[in-house]
Amino acid sequence: MSKILVTGGAGFVGSSLCLQLKKRYPESEIVAFDNLKRRGSELNLADLIRENIGFVHGDIRNAEDLAAVREFDVLIEASAEPSVMAGLDSDPTYVINNNLYGSINCFNACLKNKAKLIFLSTSRVYPIKKIESANYDELETRFAFSESQPEPGLSENGISEKLSLDGARSFYGTTKLASELFIAEYSAFYGLQAAVTRFGVIAGPRQMGKTDQGVVTLWMAKHFWKQSLKYIGYGGTGKQVRDILHIDDLVDLVDLQIRETEKFTGRIFNAGGGLENSASLQEMTRLCESITGNSITIGSETENRPADLRIFVTDNSAITEATGWKPKRSVEDVFKDIYDWINSNEVKLKPILS
């Protein structure tokens, strides 16, 4: 692999991939491609330049921008608009143009360069009503999927690839699912080698967390700077649950996909923290209190937000069985690493995260 192109390369996932892949493949040229739209990406860009990683300031919505990067062997598509709220309270044009048409430009660039594609999809391709209709138990600090479920793909271990895709899911999820369908066409008719993964919540250092995306960093940042938070929706009790995947576990998987793409071509896998690495908002609060030593005011808002979910936990059984990959880092590791990152970069991060 003489050259790896990472779209969204100055974002949280993209910059983490660039920096770690440069260490793993020091003889390879790593190029970050980004439009620097998200606040905080300029901080990640400074780290990329410091590590001799190439940078192209461009937008995947413009095929001409992508054409400026030539003769690459692998394209990692990590440039999506990541908010599930995108397009729900405003014109959805941006999320559609970026996540669908922009991705298609990336696929065409792969064909022109005879390159492999590593496509980062999302667990949000699964329909909201299917997940919200699942049987659940209300425990002391969290909601949990019940053992008995109404349809295939749901179990006490989480959501698998067998869950039906029939139903609405958000503009974000729909654009990613549409891209998955296009990848299948490109693979069947043009021979595109591609690895497609539906990732759950990804967290770790370098994520510029906001209310609608990056909740783990947001939670830690609010505790770090002693600012207030809210439990929103589902009675305002903070029992909503997500599984959390450490960014380093994602990098391990992408590395495997680069080296052994044939194991993934023609299949789509879920990948997340799994049940053992899941946490409710209540449990996240306890972790942040323990790590920072700070206790903050947390309000309550009972009304649900559009497209929200009571529980999402990834069932990793299929990808582990097929490839051997599984998460190695715990939820505690995620929160401790984010704390260390904020603590070491407090001055730079405070205007963005506080």
Please give the full DSSP string across 255-268, using - where no structure is assigned: HHHHH-GGGTTT-E
Give CA separation, 65 vs 58, 61, 126, 140, in Å: 5, 8, 32, 52
Query: For residue 258, is pLDDT > 70?
Result: yes
Q: Which of 346, 44, 96, 92 is nearest to 224 (CA)?
A: 346
> Rounded CA gap, 52 and 274, in Å?
35
Confidence band of 216 (pLDDT split at 50, 70, 90):
very high
Q: Which of 185, 147, 141 is nearest to 279 (CA)?
A: 141
Q: Enumerate residues 6+ apart whose C-beta is below 8 A from 60.
A: 7, 33, 35, 66, 79, 98, 102, 103, 105, 106
**40 or 93, which is more confident?**
93
Prediction pTM value: 0.96
End-to-end CA distance of the chain: 40
Q: Where are the domains of the chain?
A: 3-353
Q: What is the mean pLDDT of residues 60-87?
A: 93
State residue 89's pLDDT score.
Answer: 79
Percent of the residues in the chain that have a pLDDT greater than 70, as a whole number: 99
Query: For residue 353, is pLDDT > 80?
Result: yes
> Rounded CA gap, 261 and 255, in Å?
10
Q: Which of 40, 51, 115, 44 is nearest to 77 (CA)?
A: 115
Dihedral sign computed on CA atoms, order 60, 64, 65, 68: positive
Under 8 Å between Cβ of 208 and 350: no
* Two tokens, residue 31: 């190029």
pLDDT in tens, 167-177: 999 999 999 99
Domain at 3-353, CATH from 3.30.450.70, 3.40.50.800, 3.40.50.720, 3.40.190.10:
3.40.50.720
State residue 212's pLDDT score.
Answer: 65
Confidence band of 83 (pLDDT split at 50, 70, 90):
confident
DSSP codes joined into one string, 160-208: -TTS---S---HHHHHHHHHHHHHHHHHHHH---EEEEEE-EEE-TT--
Q: What is the mean pLDDT of residues 51-70?
A: 96
Q: Enumerate residues 6+ apart whose C-beta is below 8 A from 201.
A: 215, 216, 242, 243, 244, 245, 272, 273, 312
Q: How many residues does the chain have?
A: 354
Mapped onto helix, strand or coil, the DSSP state of residue 94 is helix
Dihedral sign computed on CA atoms, order 291, 292, 294, 299: negative
